[in-house]
Structure 1
Amino acid sequence: MLLSVTDMEQSAARARGMAQAALAMVATGTIAAVAAVIAHYPVYGGQAIRYAVATVFLLGVAQWRRRRRAARLSPVEPDALLVRPTVREGLLFTVLAATGLAGFNLCVVEATHYTSPATIGTVIGSAPIIFALIGPLMERRRPTARLVTAAVIVTVGAGLTSGLCGNRPLGLVLAVGALLGQVAFSLLAVPLLPKFGPILVSAYSSAAAAMILFAIGLAVDGTAVVRRPSVSEAVSIGYLATFVAITAFILWYDAINLIGADLAGLFSGLTPVSALATTVLLGVRTIRPAEFVGSVLVGLGVVLGVADLGAPRSRSARPAA
């Protein structure tokens, strides 16, 4: 009976992890439509504000949760302090923020000057293959043939959904930089999650990203790094801070904790599908046959990858933070 209960709990955890990974990538896909609203706002200043708002909220949530937990365990002397990173962990957070957040945004923004958004989406859409190969190696296990096959299918589908086209070579190089940033955002968090948990990993990386982006903004835009936003710009920045930089980050990092970076990485193929669906729902344009086929391939690849789960995989104990 105990074994069956454990199996049920593990199955429920895997199902929750997959649902969270899917929701996180769907939320990420909506960025393209929202970005059009803040196209004329200082790019780096806007991103810095977004991550700063997310940091304040995430640290507040983490502190509140620890206060409640400490009060239950030791009402006399509650330990309300947040888990602080060591020097080594602080450096890892900085690298994560510089590559997976600030670097990713920098590459995407600059790539649009040299190539089409479709090319950028196609390159970033190849992330599932990297997750399928590197994710298991980080956990000291072999990549499975079925999961790698599923990743290839998802990548092809993401490419069709984004549209296979390109322009100047520098644009392709920057798009590859964005791809590496997206992968770093997930894989560099793997050694941090057992100690800090999804909320603090999101908070500390957002804080580092805000400082990095603000510094870049000062260098590029000077005193014009920030300005008073319009109502629509404020709403859009707020959306990016709350729904993407807070909600999606927590969902994604918790999903990695539950199902591993390789399986969670499959769901990154949903990002261009979500972006396409958002533009269609907003009436910006209609879907093309190749894009429809690509969306179907992404779905088939995800289903094949989910079938690869097989026996439950052991995960390190999840932290309280």
Structure 2
Amino acid sequence: MRRSVEAPSTGATSAAVSQVLVGTCTGVSAALTAYPVGTGQALRYGLAGVAMYALLKLRTRGGDRPRIRVRPREWALLFLLALTGQTLFNQLLLGALDHADPATVGSILGCAPVVLATVGALPAGRQPGRRIVAASLLVVAGAVAVEGFGSATPTGLALALGVLVCELAFSLLAVPLLPRLGPLRVAAYSTLLAVPQSLAIGWLSDGEAMVRMPTVAEAAALVFLGLIATVVAFLLWYSALGRLGPERAGLFSGLVPIAAALSALVLGTGTVHPEQVAGSALVGLGVALGMFAPRRSWQAVRT
């Protein structure tokens, strides 16, 4: 899969929309606070996985696209991608919120762009450009300003760091899979693998209490999270990773707290403060700086 360096507008749009959708999940997930986590994840990922697998079959049925056999190493990466980026991410996030306030967890998650900017280029033999790193620092500063500073116990900080690792794995483990498998296969297979993982964790944590019919509001939330926040957002994000690379695509994760704050304002569950407006401006400046980084920042490192 060839990355578009000179004309990244398609990748930028995909990355931006995907992260805005992820940010809006905050308000929707509030409807599931009383629903068993493992069961909710399994239903969400099951619905999304079936939808993406059906799309994959429609694309290959006509014979215009070759069938690709997934190799054992790729299955291992897909399993780890599902385990970290989907299954454990949600479990650790809920655990972190029991020992830390949302501002602290969100601020730690906001560090994802700078980590992706510094380590995302290394597997491809590139060195991170100084402008990309500077842009990611602006995004992190803006995301922290939007989230605000909070408090946490040592356990909460450790769990929040685990959430950050899972967030990074969701992108970095997908990078070597995308050139051969493509965004749709990576998203569909990893999402389907997350279903039995979620059921297993749900059974260990909730036992027989994990079996419960969702209410109308819970069912509506699960459908939104499955079809919009998973199918659409995952496909757009992996498409952006293939076009932009993890360094530049990672900058757009700074949009998540902005979208969360705006969705809370629209839903009437929150307000927007001046520091959040300033933080949003910093995120926008960082994204713009990173997207227009000079081409030499993306050249391979000579060994």
Could you tell me the TM-score, scaled by structure 1's length? 0.89
For 2:221 and 2:69, how far apart are their aligned partners in 1?
Answer: 31
Structure 1 residues 151 and 313, CA gap change in structure 2 (3 angstroms): closer
Contact 2:261–2:270, Cα closer than 8 Å, also in 1:
no
Tell which deviates more after alignment, 280-289 or 15-24. Answer: 280-289
The residue that corresponds to 1:318 in the other structure is: none
Residue 54 (1) aligns with residue 37 (2) = no
Structure 1 residues 66 and 312, CA gap change in structure 2 (3 angstroms): farther
Residue 118 (1) aligns with residue 103 (2) = yes
1:262-293 CA-partner distances (Å, limit 9, x unpaired):
00000001111110111011111211122221
- Partner of 1:296, secondary structure, is helix
Aligned partner of 2:55: which letter? Answer: V
For 1:36 and 1:163, how far apart are their aligned partners in 2?
Answer: 20
The residue that corresponds to 2:164 in the other structure is: 179
Structure 1 residues 309 and 225, CA gap change in structure 2 (3 angstroms): farther
Unaligned runs of 5+ in 2: none
CA root-mean-square deviation: 1.8
Structure 1 residues 218 and 159, CA gap change in structure 2 (3 angstroms): same
Residue 16 (1) aligns with residue 10 (2) = yes
Contact 1:11–1:312, Cα closer than 8 Å, also in 2:
no
Structure 1 residues 10 and 186, CA gap change in structure 2 (3 angstroms): closer
Aligned-residue offset at 1:116: 0.5
Aligned-residue offset at 1:118: 1.1
Residue 227 (1) aligns with residue 212 (2) = yes
Aligned partner of 1:189: which letter? Answer: A
Structural mapping, 1:101-250, within 5 Å: 101-250=86-235
1:68-96 CA-partner distances (Å, limit 9, x unpaired):
2x1x58xxxxx7xx533222111111111
Name the count of aligned residue pairs: 297
For 1:26 and 1:226, how far apart are their aligned partners in 2?
Answer: 32
For 2:210 and 2:76, how far apart are their aligned partners in 1?
Answer: 26
The correspondence for 2:72, drawn from 72, 87, 94, is: 87
1:26-48 CA-partner distances (Å, limit 9, x unpaired):
00001111111111111111011
For 2:203 and 2:137, how far apart are their aligned partners in 1?
Answer: 41
The correspondence for 1:280, drawn from 257, 261, 265, is: 265
Contact 2:23–2:257, Cα closer than 8 Å, also in 1:
yes
Could you tell me the TM-score, scaled by structure 2's length? 0.94
For 1:46 and 1:167, how far apart are their aligned partners in 2?
Answer: 27
Aligned partner of 2:215: which letter? Answer: S
Structure 1 residues 312 and 152, CA gap change in structure 2 (3 angstroms): closer
Aligned partner of 1:17: which letter? Answer: G
Tell which deviates more after alignment, 86-95 or 237-246. Answer: 86-95
Contact 1:46–1:226, Cα closer than 8 Å, also in 2:
no
Structure 1 residues 99 and 10, CA gap change in structure 2 (3 angstroms): closer
Structure 1 residues 10 and 171, CA gap change in structure 2 (3 angstroms): closer
Contact 2:261–2:271, Cα closer than 8 Å, also in 1:
no
Residue 97 (1) aligns with residue 82 (2) = yes
Aligned-residue offset at 1:312: 10
Aligned-residue offset at 1:309: 5.0
For 1:311 and 1:240, how far apart are their aligned partners in 2?
Answer: 39
For 2:297 and 2:154, how far apart are their aligned partners in 1?
Answer: 44
Tell which deviates more after alignment, 161-170 or 233-242. Answer: 161-170
Contact 2:19–2:252, Cα closer than 8 Å, also in 1:
yes
Structure 1 residues 201 and 294, CA gap change in structure 2 (3 angstroms): same
The residue that corresponds to 1:6 in the other structure is: none
Structural mapping, 1:63-82, within 5 Å: 63-68=57-62, 70=63, 72=64, 82=67
Contact 1:166–1:172, Cα closer than 8 Å, also in 2:
no
For 2:299 and 2:48, how far apart are their aligned partners in 1?
Answer: 31
Structure 1 residues 10 and 35, CA gap change in structure 2 (3 angstroms): same
- Partner of 2:99, secondary structure, is coil
